[in-house]
Amino acid sequence: MTGPVRVARRLLAHELRGLRSLGLWVARRRHGVGAGDRAAAYTGPQTSTLFAFAFLAVVETVALALVVPWPLAHAALLFVDAYTVVQIVALHAACVTRPHVAGADGSLRVRYGQLLDLRIPAALISGVRVERRYPEGRVLRIGDDGTVDVGVGNQTTVTVELAEPVAFVRPLGRTAYARVVRLYADDPQGLVAALRCPRVIVRETRGPGGAPGAGRPATVAPDARDLVTRE
């Protein structure tokens, strides 16, 4: 697949996921958060900024409607501004409905709206701590040493160290590798506690004849991968 085609397909996929996120947002549902998982929101520092951009786009639309005398140009500008507002709101909806997720198995899913989805198995998390940093530039920054910053409002609050590199897909489709992940969470202490806490899996035994639910629940110790020492 050529570069321009890959980028076009990724951009289209992002837009479709953003529009679907609007439906999830209205329905007050979240994507990819299962039973026993802990969702970690990250929209705090950017909500007011995104809606300020949306408001400015609306103001621009009204101003141009009063200034531009040509109907065709006015219709084109109206479409562009309306679509811009929809995309801004869709990004906010995606960030709300696609939070970071500390899995019940000790894994971590680092996300930013519909643009990024980085999955880290529990066995590869060697250390996690609350650490506030202020990286400059874009939301996603990837260093030459494998340090990945997923910042919101030019800050990160949680640092996750990995035992070995984890592959993930960048927003435009290229593959990258992370050794250290720094992310922003509204409640960093809660996210760190969820990742440090060992999990116990409850399985239901079967009674005579294999009938489900006939026996008593059996508690199974966590897999050895879930008992990795975390700082």
- Residue with structure tokens 């101003």? 63
Is the model's pLDDT at 142 over the cut of 90? yes
Three-class SS of 45-70: CCHHHHHHHHHHHHHHHHHHHHHCCC
Three-class SS of 128-147: EEEEEECCCCCCEEECCCCE
Backbone angles phi, psi at 57, to 5 degrees: -65, -40
**Full-model pTM:** 0.79
d(CA 49, CA 66): 26
Is the model's pLDDT at 225 over the cut of 60? no
* pLDDT tens by residue, 72-121: 887 888 888 888 899 999 999 999 999 999 999 999 999 999 999 999 99
Burial classification of residue 50, based on how many CB atoms lie within 10 Å of its CB (0-12 exposed, 13-18 middle, 19 or more buried)? middle
Average pLDDT of the chain?
A: 85
State residue 224's pLDDT score: 34
Q: Which of 12, 19, 171, 11 is nearest to 86 (CA)?
A: 19
- Residue with structure tokens 């906010």? 92
Is the model's pLDDT at 143 over the cut of 50? yes
d(CA 89, CA 113): 11
Contact 120, 68 (CB under 8 A): no
For 22, residues 6+ apart whose C-beta sits below 8 A from its C-beta are 89, 90, 93
Contact 157, 135 (CB under 8 A): no
Burial classification of residue 73, based on how many CB atoms lie within 10 Å of its CB (0-12 exposed, 13-18 middle, 19 or more buried)? exposed
Q: How many helices (H) and strands (E) does the chain have?
A: 4, 11
Residue range 201-207: mean pLDDT, rounded: 47
d(CA 74, CA 80): 10
d(CA 152, CA 147): 16
For 17, residues 6+ apart whose C-beta sits below 8 A from its C-beta are 94, 114
